[in-house]
Amino acid sequence: MIKDITIGQYIPGNSFVHKLDPRVKILISIVYIIDLFIMNSFRGYIFIVAFTFISIIISKVKFGYIYKGLKPILILALITAVLNIFMTTGANPPLFKWKIITVYSEGLILAAFMVLRLVFLIIGTSLLTLTTSPIELTDGIEKLLNPMKKIGVPAHELAMMMTIALRFIPTLMDETDKIMKAQMARGADFESGNLIHRAKSLVPILVPLFISSFRRADELAMAMESRCYRGGEGRTRMKQLKITNRDYTASLVVILLTVVSVLSRIWWH
């Protein structure tokens, strides 16, 4: 399950999506998330589904890899659906009622919307990191934050911190998996017992994981210092970010998707 987490991982490629400017991909991801919450009808979500699947095909990322990234959130999606089904009331007569359990059609619709939004939210953000290298992400975030330097916001440092944190997610997950297997080989049991017992059994994992994380952070700091890293002041780049025709094309498609999202909310509310 831990190895199924794909957020933060990067798959090298030469596809249309890989070649997009990282600034454009970040902005497209933000607009895509906004569109997910603008849509309020199942007919409108047809466009979201079509856009998402076409993007995956163009990016040449395998669908199995996308599904692998969705597996860790299946429990979260199930909990979200159950909470919305049993805790949402409506004006229409209940579809099912038994003692204190009441199910309304509004609850089922809201649960379906929340699960759809959660699933496509994970797919969209995963596709961003899968097709954008950490260096490109850092440059893109820094360029987008550059206007905020005028009010004293450290754009380069913020971009660097966010990218390092994102990049270390798969590394820490892999480290956690190794520690769990090592502890299980020594007789540790993480599955039996009540909730308190399971929480206590995580201590042999958390302690070495924290030690390993601090060690990696110290090694990274020493590596950056040995390469004379001094922040963003006076820093140059071998590859300069440039907006090309493919970026304008992708932006136009996303703008059309946003227009369709707004119109679908008006027409199919």
Residues in contact with 71: Cβ distance below 8 Å, sequence separation at least 6, in sequence order: 1, 4
pTM recorded for the entire structure:
0.75
Residues 258 and 47 sit within 8 Å (Cβ to Cβ) = no
Residue 47: name the closest of 250, 253, 255, 260 by CA.
Answer: 260
Domain layout of the chain by residue ranges: 2-169+243-267
pLDDT tens across the length of the chain (269 residues): 445 566 667 788 888 998 899 889 999 999 999 988 888 778 888 888 899 999 999 988 888 778 777 777 788 888 888 888 777 777 777 777 777 777 777 778 888 888 888 888 888 888 888 888 877 887 888 888 888 878 877 777 787 787 777 777 777 877 887 888 887 787 777 666 666 766 677 777 888 888 888 888 888 888 888 877 776 666 666 677 788 899 999 999 999 989 988 888 777 66
**Cα separation values, 172 from 133, 148, 166, 191, 205, Å:** 18, 31, 10, 21, 12
Q: What sign for the dihedral angle of Cα 158, 160, 166, 172? A: negative
The CA distance from 245 to 253, in Å, is 12
Dist CA 156 CA 210 (whole Å)? 27
Name the maximum alpha-carbon separation found in the chain.
Answer: 69
Tokens at 246, concatenated: 């493919």
